[in-house]
Amino acid sequence: MATITQLENGIVLITLAGELDNHEANQIRTEVSTAIFTGKTRAIIWDLYKLGFMDSAGIGLILGRMRDLAPVNGETLILNPSPTMEKIFQFSGLSAVIRKCTVEEAIDEIGGVVHEK
C-alpha cells in the first residue's frame, strides 16, 4: 500500500506499507506515477518505516520514478529501510540516497540543496 502526500515546493512523500513485491508494485505504479506528473514534482521522499518486505520489484519501482524525475534533475531520498532492504539498495547502487532520519529532516535536506542552486 502506498500513501501519497503532495508537500510544498514540489516534494512528494510516498509512505509504503505492507509487502512490496512484483504484484504490489504493479498495483501502485499508476497511482504513484499520476501523483508525480500532477503538479511540478522535483523531489520524491520514499518512507519505508512501515514496509515489512521488499524485493527487486521495489528497486524497479523506485528506479522507474527516478527516471521520471531525471528531465527536471529531480531528487530522490529513501528513508528508513530495514537491514535486508538496505542490502538490496546497496547491490543496486542506491546507497547514496538512503537516509535514516525523519521526513522533516529529509525535507530540510532537499529544501537546502535547492536553495543553494
Partner 1 sequence: MKNELTLSFLAIEENEALARMAMTCFITPLDPTLEEISEFKTIVSEAVTNAIIHGYECDGKSLVTIHATIEDRLIKMTVKDEGMGIFDVEQAMEPMFTTKPQMERSGMGFTIMESFADCIRVDSTLGAGTIVTFEKNFSPVTEVSRMR
Chosen residue from 26, 38, 95, 102 binding partner 1 by CB under 8 A: 26
Site for partner 1 in 72-101 (CB under 8 A): 82-84, 87-88, 91-92
Sheet of 98-99, strand order: 2-6, 11-20, 43-54, 75-79, 98-99
With 0-12 / 13-18 / 19 or more C-beta atoms within 10 angstroms meaning exposed / middle / buried, residue 23 is: exposed
Element (H, E) at 7: none
Smallest separation (angstroms) from partner 1 to the CB of 91: 5
Chosen residue from 7, 17, 60, 66 binding partner 1 by CB under 8 A: 60
Amino acid, single-letter form, for residue 38: T
DSSP state, 50? E
Question: Where does this chain touch partner 1 (CB under 8 A) — which range of 6-14, 21-29, 69-77, 100-108?
Answer: 21-29
Tell me the Ramachandran region of residue 104: left when phi exceeds 0, alpha when psi lies from -120 to 50, beta otherwise: alpha
Closer to partner 1 at the Cβ: 100 or 102?
100
| Grid cell listed for 98 | 538512503
Question: Where does this chain touch partner 1 (CB under 8 A) — which range of 37-45, 56-64, 70-78, 107-115?
Answer: 56-64
Binding site for partner 1 (CB under 8 A): 19, 21-23, 25-26, 29, 53, 55-57, 59-61, 63-64, 82-84, 87-88, 91-92
